[in-house]
Amino acid sequence: MADVTLNLNGRRRTVDVDPATPLLYVLRNDLDVHGPRFGCGLGQCGACTVLINGTATRSCMTPVSAVRGEITTLEGLAKDGRLHPVQQAWIDEQVPACGYCQNGQMLTAAALLQRNPRPTDEQIRAAMAPVLCRCFTYYRIQAAVRRAANAAATA
């Protein structure tokens, strides 16, 4: 065990854990941040996605000691009490069914729009493809990504 300090959603948090522990379990079990969820532990599904310096990252495969930079989870996406445009689009489009995977969908969409504010439909499909949904809400997710991009463009 060792002290590891993380920059999480704008706060510094220190935990005493085995440095090899995947970030996912530290976030969920030590820091009570439950946006990222366990789906496969293999980096294949995206349910555990967090942003590290704005890049969508699979927290189930990332040792906590390897994290460098600012971690943003679903809980940290809203700013100043306002939902992120992606979150608002998810509500407006009524996207989630069970909702278990939507953490990864929203954070991946937020990362996409950060680096490409006006993605084409093909770019949306390609960027979102690694995040799986077994309620198959893909059609509404893609509509919500377009909606968020349009909202940001007109804001």
Partner 1 sequence: MTIDDLLDRFAAPSRREFLKTSGRLVVGVAAAAHAGPLVTAAGGRAALAQGAGPYPDPDFRQLDSWIVIHQDNTATFYVGKTDLGQGTGTAFRQIMSDELDMAFDRTTCIMGITDVTVDQGGSGGSDALQVDGWPMRRVAAEARRVLLDMAAERFGVPSDQLAVNDGVVWVTADPSRRFTYGDLIGGRRFDVTLTGRTINETTGVAPIKPVQALKYAGTSPPRDDIPAKVDGSARWAVDVKLPGMVHARHVRPPIAGATVVGVDESSVRDVPGLVRIVRERNYVAVVCEREEQAIAAATRLKVDWRAPATAPFPASDDLFTYMRRTTPTRSVDPQATGDVEAGLAGAAARIEAEYEVPFQGHTAIGPAHATADPSNGQLTIYSNDMKSYGLRDGVARFLDIPRDRVRVVWMHGPQAYGRTAADDAGFEAAYLAQRLGRPVRVQWSRAEETAWDTKGPAYLVRMRGGLDARGNLMALDYEARAADYGHLGYNEHDTVLVAQLTGRRRATPAPGGAAAPSDMYAVPNRRAAMHVVPLPLVWETPLRTGNLRDPNGPQVTFAGESFIDELAAAAKTDPVEFRLRLLAAGTGDDAGVRRARSIAVVKAAAEEYGWRARPSPGPRASGDTLTGRGFAYAFRNQTIVAQIAEVEVNRRTGRVWVRRLVCAHDCGLVINPEALRRTLEGAMMHSLSRALYEEVTFDTEKVTSVDWRTSPTLTHLDTPAAIDVVLVNGDPNPNRPDLPHYGAGEAACKPLIAAVANAIFDATGVRIRRVPFRPARVAAALQAARV
For residue 120, which phi and psi values (nearest 5 degrees)?
-75, 170
Query: Min. distance of Cβ 112 from partner 1 in angstroms?
Result: 11
- Which of the residues 66 through 125 are near partner 1 (CB under 8 A)? 73-75, 77-78, 83, 87, 90-91, 94-103, 106, 121, 124-125
Per-position x/- string for 3-42, each x denoting binding to partner 1 as judged by CB under 8 A, each - no binding: ---------------x--xx--x--xx--x-xx-xxxxxx
**SS3 state at 75:** helix
Smallest gap from residue 92 Cβ to partner 1 (A): 9
Both tokens of residue 114? 């950060």
Whole-number minimum distance, CB 144 to partner 1, in Å?
10
Our CB check for partner 1 shows the closer of 5 and 121 to be 121
Residues that bind partner 1 (CB under 8 A): 18, 21-22, 25, 28-29, 32, 34-35, 37-42, 44-45, 47, 73-75, 77-78, 83, 87, 90-91, 94-103, 106, 121, 124-126, 128-142
